[in-house]
Amino acid sequence: MSKGTVENMATLSTDLFYDILKRLDGATLASASCACAAFSSMSKEERLWQNVCSSMWPSTKRDDVKNLISQIGGFKKFYADCFPLIVNKNVSEFTWRDYPEYPEELTEAEYYGDFDESQNVSPSDFVFIVDVRYKDKSICSKVIWGIPNANGFNGWFSNCPFRIDLFSFSGQGDDHTGGVTLSIDDGLPLVTSMERERKDGKLWQELRDGIRLSWIVVNTKAKKAANLSSWSPLGGQRHWPTEKDFLLRFGSILPAEDILPCQMVECILAMKFQVTEASGVQTTLKLTELCMQLGDMEGAHVNGRNSLLVLNEALSCNRSKNYNLALESCHLYSKVQSEIKEEKMRYESRLDKLWILGGITVFVTLFCYFM
């Protein structure tokens, strides 16, 4: 930068600087802070990062969420924690034989040991901030304070599969409590009939390309936050379970070292839309389901007790702004998971054959003996 340029910038007012910076997105604002001392100083303003967060996550416009973010370190820290995606680089290709199983003589609680009270993880410590966008337009924003229906570690929550259904819980001050719809006014293509959609899949493709999900978990006691979603869908299935249903899957791979034998679990975020109208004049989709679960390598759902520990561990895991790295991590996990299932099926098939052969051998031996 030339001396004349620096002198010209010095003559600019602080208000003009601020007006320039407030129009930037988070990534550009972070880059601009390195351009000069003036930008560096002003980029520390919380108002700028509040604007960035409000634009990206409409849920952060709520007064209660603003207070929460202020308590855990401010909007700049919140953006730095939640904009990058979770990346697990420890997904290793191991076989099912290396996968530890529960000893038959021990219960699951005995195998994992007693709950460590020193970790002090409670369902009430967590806050979930969820935002759904379609083609950069916010269609659903919801905040859940605490884990619904979790009445302590000694109840059913600890041992039952962990699951949060967004629309089964109505939080105070939510922008949407159900009835979220998309139509051609929102950018959906016109579908004349479901038969035509089954052939060309135009609606399905537009939905996959346009939908975005952010599912942020905040631990109020640890004052940490992380985004559990993959932003874009990792996969999905159309016309399931009925021909009018579209199922989209988001998520991330979370570390579970010293918590579960598999050392890592998949955070499964499932979103389901249903076609409510497909005529020559209108196409309408309704968001019917949005839920979160944790699953291990064998596809079993993690219980509530261990899920709390995994979510707490996820707040300190590696993250990256590179979407491809997060996508690669999820795809590698799915690959390893499929290989484990296939090897397990082959192993069990060999055992079945050995049992059958053993049974036949015993039968023939007894038959020969009595004859």
Give the chain's domain count.
2
**Domain residue limits at 30:** 14-62
Give Cβ neighbours of residue 152 (< 8 Å, ≥ 6 apart): 158
pLDDT tops 80 at residue 283: yes
Query: By the 8 A CB rule, do 339 and 347 touch?
Result: no
Ramachandran bin of 179, using left for φ above 0, alpha for ψ from -120 to 50, beta for the remaining angles: left
Mean of per-residue pLDDT scores for the chain = 81
Residue 19 lies in a domain: yes
Query: By the 8 A CB rule, do 217 and 224 touch?
Result: no
- Rounded CA gap, 217 and 222, in Å? 12
- Comparing 42-46, 91-95, 207-211, 348-352, the range with the smallest average pLDDT is 91-95
Residue 107 banded pLDDT, cuts 50, 70, 90: very low
* CA-based end-to-end distance of the chain: 103
Burial of residue 299 (number of CB atoms within 10 Å: 0-12, 13-18, 19+) = exposed
Say what the pTM is: 0.82
Q: Strand, coil or helix: what is 114?
A: coil
Residue 100 banded pLDDT, cuts 50, 70, 90: low
Residue 246 lies in a domain: yes
Specify whether 159 is located in the same domain as 255: yes
Specify whether 57 is located in the same domain as 145: no
Whole-number percent of the chain with pLDDT over 70? 83
Residue 113 lies in a domain: no
Residue 356 lies in a domain: no
Give Cβ neighbours of residue 170 (< 8 Å, ≥ 6 apart): 177
Give Cβ neighbours of residue 354 (< 8 Å, ≥ 6 apart): none
**pLDDT at site 154:** 55
State which of 81-95, 244-258, 355-369 shows the largest mean pLDDT. 244-258
Question: What integer is the mean pLDDT of 132-144?
Answer: 93
Closest CA to 87 of 361, 346, 322: 322
**pLDDT at site 102:** 46
Specify whether 49 is located in the same domain as 92: no
- Rounded CA gap, 279 and 281, in Å? 5
| Token pair belonging to 39 | 């930008």
Q: How far is CA 287 from each of CA 65, 80, 137, 193, 291, rounded to the nearest angstrom? A: 24, 30, 15, 19, 11
Q: Which residue reads 């529960």 in tokens?
A: 102
Interior angle at CA 117, CA 296 and CA 218, nearest 5: 60
Query: By the 8 A CB rule, do 251 and 268 touch?
Result: yes
pLDDT tops 70 at residue 207: yes
**pLDDT at site 217:** 96
Question: What integer is the mean pLDDT of 84-107?
Answer: 59
Between 70 and 361, name the one with better pLDDT: 70
**pLDDT at site 151:** 63
- Rounded CA gap, 292 and 214, in Å? 12
Residue 263 lies in a domain: yes
Specify whether 154 is located in the same domain as 281: yes
Between 167 and 205, name the one with better pLDDT: 205
Specify whether 180 is located in the same domain as 231: yes
| Token pair belonging to 253 | 């791979």
Specify whether 190 is located in the same domain as 263: yes
| Token pair belonging to 9 | 């910038």
State which of 111-115, 147-151, 357-361 shows the largest mean pLDDT. 357-361
pLDDT tops 90 at residue 5: no
DSSP 8-state assignment for residue 174? -
CA dihedral for 222, 146, 301, 318, sign (positive or negative): negative
Query: What is the widest separation between alpha-carbon atoms in the chain?
Result: 111
pLDDT tops 80 at residue 340: no
Give Cβ neighbours of residue 176 (< 8 Å, ≥ 6 apart): 139, 140, 141, 142
Residue 129 lies in a domain: yes
Give Cβ neighbours of residue 279 (< 8 Å, ≥ 6 apart): 192
Specify whether 57 is located in the same domain as 92: no
Q: Which helix (H) or strand (E) holds 101?
A: none
**pLDDT at site 169:** 53
pLDDT tops 70 at residue 99: no
**pLDDT at site 11:** 54
Specify whether 176 is located in the same domain as 310: yes
Question: What integer is the mean pLDDT of 291-319?
Answer: 90
Specify whether 264 is located in the same domain as 299: yes
- Rounded CA gap, 283 and 202, in Å? 12
**pLDDT at site 248:** 95
**pLDDT at site 194:** 87
Q: Which residue reads 């940490």 in tokens?
A: 224
Question: What integer is the mean pLDDT of 133-139?
Answer: 92
Give Cβ neighbours of residue 57 (< 8 Å, ≥ 6 apart): 82, 129, 131, 141, 214, 216
Query: By the 8 A CB rule, do 222 and 235 touch?
Result: no
Specify whether 300 is located in the same domain as 216: yes
Q: How far is CA 203 from each of CA 191, 199, 232, 280, 302, rounded to the nearest angstrom? A: 7, 11, 16, 14, 34
Question: What integer is the mean pLDDT of 63-92?
Answer: 90
Specify whether 303 is located in the same domain as 159: yes
Specify whether 35 is located in the same domain as 90: no
- Comparing 158-167, 208-217, 308-317, the range with the smallest average pLDDT is 158-167
pLDDT tops 60 at residue 45: yes
Overall residue count recorded for the chain in this entry = 371
- Rounded CA gap, 158 and 115, in Å? 10
